[in-house]
Amino acid sequence: MTLQFVYNGQDFVTEAQRSSGNGLAPEPSNFDLTIQAGWSERMNRGLFRYHLDDLQTRIMPGPHGYVAQLNIQRGLQRRKPEEILSIKQEFNANQFNFNKIDPEEVIFEMTKVVEGRKEKGQLHERWRVVVLVNVSPLEFGHCLFVQEPSCCLPQVLTSFSIQVGIESVLLSSDPGFRVGFNSLGAFASVNHLHLHGYYLNHELQIESVPVKLLVPEKGFYRLLDFPAGFLFYTESECVVKVARAICQVTDFLVESNTAHNLFLTRGSPPSDQIQDKKDHCSRKGVRIAVWPRTSCFGAKDESAFNVALCELAGHLPFKNKKDYELSTEKDVKDVIERYLLPEAEFHTLEQHLTRHLTDL
């Protein structure tokens, strides 16, 4: 019988802090314990395509502080990606999807209980997400969040799936727990709606990088550093509202055939300045970065690393030792630059999105 993980808003961790260097690791939440125990048990049972030991890791010299990791096996052993031809490609039951996995890969079913009055006298509402191991992990605890697999939804974000991603980060007491999404055309390998979750015990600049406010009523910001993108921020009481605003952006990107990646992480409140030490370490809320980018269809594959959700956030899983050891920050930026929208195109998109969100 599948393990059930039932939670409500009282389970959110509202006082996470990033250590300033020598602090103790946070006490794991029930969410962390459930994922980590289930993931480790399946790793020990050999359900993964390869055994993931502690990854060789280095922080690249340079202002961006890229976290480079050597993960050769993921490059060699992961399942061949589905051929993607369109950002709006329909779900195809004949292709690999998460209804075809080994049931033993499922860690638990995740259900939120929402208290409140309903029209027909119901006292609460339930919704379900299946959490399963990623059998080709890029880091410890790498799992997938799949919204109602039997609904066979294509890889297009819904307000519900965004809310699940944000709330998963809030359920973790570990500021190193991250969630992300690759759209079709942005290195999504399976056209069945899912988000990635994993632990990375290194600070990323996206957690505190300065931003510029674009649409105050929607909490819509532009990142002020490379790579060019947008940002939302929420604490536990505003998750539904922010998830809807993010979905308005991703819906716009899908309709305009613009590929995109999302990265969700504990982060400091938005600011247009470099923050003081106290604000910099604050992790009460979740930062959600949205990067529009050029579409990649067919079999394009970088030899060093692909440019998807974690790479844009500054986490770089390298496929071979030479690139891992020799690549510089400039090399990384040159690769990423090839996948970003041209500057003029990005600014046009920014103007359209700003008007779009203002008019809604």
What average pLDDT values come out for the chain (360 residues) when binned by 10 residues?
Answer: 93 82 73 98 96 95 97 81 87 96 97 64 62 96 97 96 98 96 95 97 95 97 97 96 98 97 96 69 91 83 83 96 96 96 97 96
Write down the catalytic residue from 192, 194, 260, 315: 194
What pLDDT is stored for residue 18 in this prediction?
Answer: 75
- Annotated active-site residue 260? The verdict is no
Q: Please tell me the distance from the alpha carbon of residue 48 to that of residue 254, in angstroms, as a whole number.
A: 33
What pLDDT is stored for residue 338 in this prediction?
Answer: 94
pTM value is 0.94
What pLDDT is stored for residue 120 in this prediction?
Answer: 40
Percentage of the chain exceeding pLDDT 70: 91
Beta strand segments in 183-296, E: 194-199, 211-215, 220-223, 230-234, 259-267, 282-283, 285-293
What pLDDT is stored for residue 276 in this prediction?
Answer: 61
- For strands 106-115 and 4-7, give the pairing: parallel
What pLDDT is stored for residue 117 in this prediction?
Answer: 43
Neighbours of 19 (CB within 10 A): 13
Count the alpha carbons within 13 Å of 54 in the hemisphere toward its beta carbon.
3
- C-alpha closest to that of 268 among 254, 291, 257, 284: 284
Q: Please tell me the distance from the alpha carbon of residue 33 to that of residue 37, in angstroms, as a whole number.
A: 6
Instruction: Characterise 216 by phi-psi region: left (phi > 0), alpha (psi -120 to 50), beta (else).
Output: alpha
* CA-based max dimension of the chain: 63
Q: CA distances (Å), 163 to each of 140, 255, 256, in order?
A: 23, 21, 23
